[in-house]
Structure 1
Amino acid sequence: MGLTSNKVLVLAIVVAAALFIGTVWLWPRLARQSWRAVSGRVGLMLFTQVALFVSVGLAANQAFGFYASWADLFGTETDTGVVVDHSVNGSTGGPLQVVSTSDVPGVRATRPETGGQVQKVDIVGRTTHIGAPAYVYLPPEYFQPQYRKRTFPVAVVLTGYPGTAKSLVTKLNYPSTAQRMAKDGQMQPMILVMLRPTVAPPRDTECVDVPGGPQAETFFAKDLPDAVLSHYRGGKQPGSWGVIGDSTGGYCALKLAMHHPNVYTAGAGLSPYYKAPIDPTTGDLFHGDKKLRNRADLWWLLRHEPAPDTSLLVTSSKVGEHNYNDTMKFIERVQATNRTRISSIILQSGGHNFNTWRREIPPTLQWMSGRLVDH
């Protein structure tokens, strides 16, 4: 049974409940002062607490999509992707392979022409050789005959760390939100490419080209657009691509838009931070390269490099988010550049969680739509 299986969660809850009842039932029998009775009380309390902790942890993982599998949880997911060449009997070769297709969750439609489609894909970077699974949302217009020659704007959507790409589809509801808003005329139809920034699991690369390691930034700035455009009718002209992310993905989105404004004309960071951390999950990202470390610091970029011609959106909450003060300072610093455009969504309250981001996603998609062009 998988980590996200409902059966695992139900089993954990049943075990916790049984241990709790057993503790209440057996406690009077263990009230004596002998070492056996004391050991029994300690054992019951310990196992009950562990069972409760496991149940709460599994429920939280179900709700927020931190880890996709047991291997992901314990850090044993280290295998790199394998390139599989397919014949021309229905599937296409190249750096992007479609694994499966499905309807858009939450959208009642029997055909992609009316409800859109979500495709699960595998992407392998031609220059970085990084392999990453992703989900691609195609709007209904993509399948309609009158739009068969049209290209569509593309928004790359990134999770936090560790995160799972599937959570963007089933928990944060990006495809169904985009489908509904386009249908209501609140945004233009767009292709969404949804994946996590963790392209070398379990390591958190912070979208950095690590010296001698994963070239994560190059993957997102070059390989990912090349792979998507080799398979889909995405916009190839300047102004056709944007990037959105939450938490770690939010930092990556802002950095990619600032480093590569010729690729990403807009970047939206939901609850972002503004400087790459160094901790046990990242390892040594820079290997003593001061220039690389500085470029990963968005504060340093705004002070020492020409302001990029791009649009940025940042979000925070006055109560519940730790990045509020930094976000307000970042807005002021970007405004002082007189070149980079900055917008914000500031909630009165909201924590660093899916519920908060679900409130910010509709206006973020509308903002992104207004800054991307189709051709």
Structure 2
Amino acid sequence: MGLTSNKVLVLALVLAVLLFVGTVWYWPRLARRNWLVVGGRVGLLFATQFTVIAALGLAANQTFGFYASWSDLLGEENGQGEVVDNGAAGSSGGPLQVLGTQTVNVSGGAQPQIGGQIQRVTIFGPKTHIATPAYVYLPPEYFQPAFRTRSFPVGVVLSGYPGTAAALIKGLKYPRTAHELSKQGKMQPMILVMLRPTVVPPRDTECVDVPGGPQVETFFTKDLPDAVRSHYRRVGVSPFGWGIIGDSTGGYCALKFAMHHPDVYAAGVGLSPFYKAPIDPTTGDLFHGNKQLKNRADLMWYLKHEPAPNTSLLVTSSKHGEYHYKDTLKFIQQVRANKVTRISSLILDSGGHNFNTWLREIPGALQWMSGRLSDR
């Protein structure tokens, strides 16, 4: 059973309850003072606490999508890393392959013409030799005859690190929110490509083209758009049809891609983003001593030293509870100073670096992004 399986969570909860009840029931029988009885008390306490903590951890992972599998949790996931030979992918259906479908959790969701559809896919990058799983949300209009000749804008949606793509559906409810907003006329029908920025797990590349390593920025700004255009009909060919949004690490990546590649993404949204790539045990050496690459990955430095990008940005934060709030205010001020890049903000009075906060921000962020994209 998988780490995110409901059966695993239920089993952990049942074990925790049984051990708790058993501890209370048998505790009087373990009141004597000898090493065997004391060992029994220690064992019961340890087992009870372990199962309770495990159940809470599994529930938190189900809610926030930290890890996708047991191997991901244990740092052993590496099977979806760089692909050496991409020829097989091309011969078996192109750079984007659909592996399965699922319904959107809305009324009438069983019918694609009413609820749209979520497709589980694998995206192969012929330029970067990177392969990664993703989900694609197709709006109801994509399946309606009246829209056969219409182009659809695309929103790339990124999780944080480590994150899971499934959490963008179950936890952050992107497809359901997009469906409801579109139905209410608050945003246009949009294709969403949902994945995590960790495309070479378990390494956190911070969406950098690592010298001699994975070319993650190129994957997201070249391979991914090409793969989506090659598979889905009537996807906009200009940057005006493409936006990108993410939270935390994904928010940093989204802003960076829109700033570095305004010819690819016309709009970028950072939900609780940070503004430069950290260096820690999860990232390894991202720049290999290349100071220019390191500076370009620092968005504050980029605004001061590089030509102002002609793109639109939205950043979100909270006055209380968000530790990047002051950095966000500085970023907004620096963008305003260049008078070319357009900047908007969504600032809450309070809210932490978590799903609950982002759920409050996503509807407004999707509406904002929709308003800056066209179906050209």
TM range (shorter): over 0.9
Match of 1:62 in 2: 62
Identity %: 70
Q: Cα distance, 1:154 vs. partner?
A: 0.8
- Aligned pairs, number: 371
Equivalent position amino acid for 2:47 in 1:
F
Alignment deviations for residues 189-248 of structure 1 (CA, whole Å, 9 cap, x no partner): 111111110000111111001112111100001000010111112100231111000111
Match of 1:208 in 2: 208
Match of 2:288 in 1: 287
2 CA distance for matches of 1:114 and 1:80?
Answer: 34
Match of 2:26 in 1: 26
Q: Cα distance, 1:39 vs. partner?
A: 2.9
Match of 2:195 in 1: 195
Match of 2:222 in 1: 222
User: Structure 2: which 5+ residue stretches go unaligned?
Assistant: none
Equivalent position amino acid for 1:78 in 2:
N
2 CA distance for matches of 1:322 and 1:74?
Answer: 28
Indicate conservation of the 8 Å contact 1:267/1:312, yes or no: yes
1 CA distance for matches of 2:7 and 2:140?
Answer: 35
Q: Cα distance, 1:291 vs. partner?
A: 1.0
Alignment deviations for residues 76-127 of structure 1 (CA, whole Å, 9 cap, x no partner): 111136765588xxxx721111111232222424432232221111110010
Moved more, 61-70 or 34-43: 34-43
Question: Which residues in structure 2 correspond to 1:1-375 (within 5 Å)?
Answer: 1-80=1-80, 84-85=88-89, 93-232=93-232, 233-375=234-376
Q: Cα distance, 1:357 vs. partner?
A: 1.0
Moved more, 105-114 or 149-158: 105-114
Moved more, 63-72 or 14-23: 14-23
2 CA distance for matches of 1:141 and 1:26?
Answer: 61
Indicate conservation of the 8 Å contact 2:139/2:179, yes or no: yes
Equivalent position amino acid for 1:345 in 2:
L
1 CA distance for matches of 2:6 and 2:101?
Answer: 23
2 CA distance for matches of 1:107 and 1:121?
Answer: 24
Q: Cα distance, 1:36 vs. partner?
A: 3.1
1 CA distance for matches of 2:90 and 2:307?
Answer: 45
Indicate conservation of the 8 Å contact 1:105/1:170, yes or no: no
Alignment deviations for residues 341-367 of structure 1 (CA, whole Å, 9 cap, x no partner): 111111112222212111111110110
2 CA distance for matches of 1:96 and 1:107?
Answer: 29
* 1:17–1:146 distance in 2 versus 1, CA, 3 Å: closer
Alignment deviations for residues 174-203 of structure 1 (CA, whole Å, 9 cap, x no partner): 112111211211111111111110000111
Alignment deviations for residues 273-318 of structure 1 (CA, whole Å, 9 cap, x no partner): 1111111111111111111111111111112112111111011112
Alignment deviations for residues 300-337 of structure 1 (CA, whole Å, 9 cap, x no partner): 11121121111110111122211111111211111111
**SS where residue 113 of structure 1 aligns?**
helix
Indicate conservation of the 8 Å contact 1:117/1:139, yes or no: yes
When normalised by structure 1's length, the TM-score is 0.94
**SS where residue 239 of structure 1 aligns?**
helix
**SS where residue 336 of structure 1 aligns?**
helix
**SS where residue 135 of structure 2 aligns?**
strand
Q: Cα distance, 1:141 vs. partner?
A: 1.8
Alignment deviations for residues 134-173 of structure 1 (CA, whole Å, 9 cap, x no partner): 1111112222223222211111000111111111122211
Indicate conservation of the 8 Å contact 2:80/2:199, yes or no: no
Q: Cα distance, 1:269 vs. partner?
A: 0.5
2 CA distance for matches of 1:282 and 1:154?
Answer: 29
* 1:333–1:34 distance in 2 versus 1, CA, 3 Å: same
Moved more, 278-287 or 252-261: 278-287
Moved more, 234-243 or 106-115: 106-115
Indicate conservation of the 8 Å contact 1:16/1:51, yes or no: yes
**SS where residue 192 of structure 1 aligns?**
strand
Equivalent position amino acid for 1:65 in 2:
G
Indicate conservation of the 8 Å contact 2:266/2:312, yes or no: yes
